[in-house]
A and B are shown apart, each in its own frame.
Chain A
């Protein structure tokens, strides 16, 4: 539980998770760090979209925050 207006990253940390993603290059663990949108360590898949900076997104009830395990997949056929 976090106060209204808290970030998705804060919610993840408050829930006791030790990491939020694996890096795309060598799959090492990362957790939110700067909490102000400049370090890109808090990247998570939020509501189906990958590479979202969870520290600058306000958490809402029902928001789906998923662990990002690889770089974002792009479907080139989608125009």
Chain B
């Protein structure tokens, strides 16, 4: 039996961010990864570090997202300094394009709600008309009527982020166990034993960050993680010279030049197959937004499963029955990396989640408790 200060189950963007934050706080941490058989939401991520669309009707989520985005520049710099890996973070602001007057009205109303709900935090946005958009984005299509813009949005390279977090974790003494599915779990307050294929580990703290796998794992630790898959598909074009000055909700150009196109949502269970119809609708909206995209070749496309809670907001909890057991789920592993490393991990290290996260507990799904 190997003993650690903390066990993190799940080595994707959420787990590796938390694990990195914990080793930085000088805990001895083991990070379990399932391997290729896992659902691996992290491989599907688009790469937005996105604020403007998050938390309409949920000011606590808006705040958490904003705090995370504000931590991002320091996190990116720290990871590059420590590991040599550049995560390609840029924060030029971002736009959400509207392809009709109705879309503009709905978006404007949403931005106003976000501003009112933000209270003291504030929410700075602008609605851009066609002329302003054309100045920012040469070649914007005639079908585009306007857009919302905020200064808080940006993007990064999710693969490099995952790599940097893992490397930073290992360089700080973290132990990574790949291909180590949890086969048995025993829980007592402050005392957790996990059996995996190659052995047994124990620690006074455990963090469940296994994405869709959390739904099953949670019950062993007196926790609840009611997450379900939501399929998304992405298209990637050949590399082009820089042409997009800032990311759009469904279109971003990487540092290397590839242009990534999204954003689709399908309730298809655990099926990860691609479908021409969805790919066509992604391509159609992209070409309406920027007609010049029509001439680019698509070199890669994939589908992946987001980890979606019933209301789309993250779930963070500490078990009441087994204190020391934590769970973390979100579908925005890139955006929330700043918060997971710099805010959530310190809470786990301290043994207590802060009041800011109370409304993101899974208790909110239990109607009898919430009433």
| Interface set of A (CB-CB < 8 Å, partner B) | 24-25, 40, 50-51, 70-79
| Interface set of B (CB-CB < 8 Å, partner A) | 137-139, 141-142, 238-241, 243, 256-257, 290-292, 295-297, 299
With known contacts A24-B256, A24-B257, A79-B139, A73–B240 Cβ distance under 8 A: yes
With known contacts A25-B256, A40-B299, A79-B292, A51–B239 Cβ distance under 8 A: yes
With known contacts A24-B257, A51-B297, A71-B257, A78–B238 Cβ distance under 8 A: no
B241 touches A74 (CB 8 A): yes
Which of A25, A51, A77: most chain B Cβ within 10 A?
Answer: A51
Complexed CA–CA distance, A77 and B142 (Å): 12
Interface of B is mostly: loop
Complexed CA–CA distance, A4 and B348 (Å): 66
User: Which chain A residues lie closer than 8 Å to B240 at the CB level?
Assistant: 71-74
Q: Which residue from A24, A75, A76, A79 sits with its C-beta under 8 Å from B239?
A: A24
Q: Which residue from B141, B239, B295 sits with its C-beta under 8 Å from A71?
A: B239
List the 3 shortest-distance A-B pairs measured between CB atoms, nearest first: A76-B139, A71-B257, A71-B239
User: Which chain B residues lie closer than 8 Å to A51 at the CB level?
Assistant: 238-239, 297
A72 touches B139 (CB 8 A): no
A76 touches B257 (CB 8 A): no
Given contacts A72-B241, A79-B292, 19 further A-B contacts (CB under 8 A): A24-B256, A24-B257, A25-B256, A50-B238, A51-B297, A71-B238, A71-B240, A72-B238, A72-B257, A73-B241, A74-B241, A74-B292, A76-B139, A76-B290, A76-B292, A77-B139, A77-B292, A78-B139, A78-B295
- A72 nearest in chain B by CB position: B240
Q: How far is the CB of A76 from chain B (nearest CB, A)?
A: 3
B241 touches A76 (CB 8 A): no
Q: How far is the CB of B315 from chain A (nearest CB, A)?
A: 38
With known contacts A24-B239, A51-B239, A79-B139, A74–B256 Cβ distance under 8 A: no
B241 touches A78 (CB 8 A): no
Q: How far is the CB of A34 from chain B (nearest CB, A)?
A: 14
User: Which chain A residues lie closer than 8 Å to B241 at the CB level?
Assistant: 24, 70-74
- B243 nearest in chain A by CB position: A74
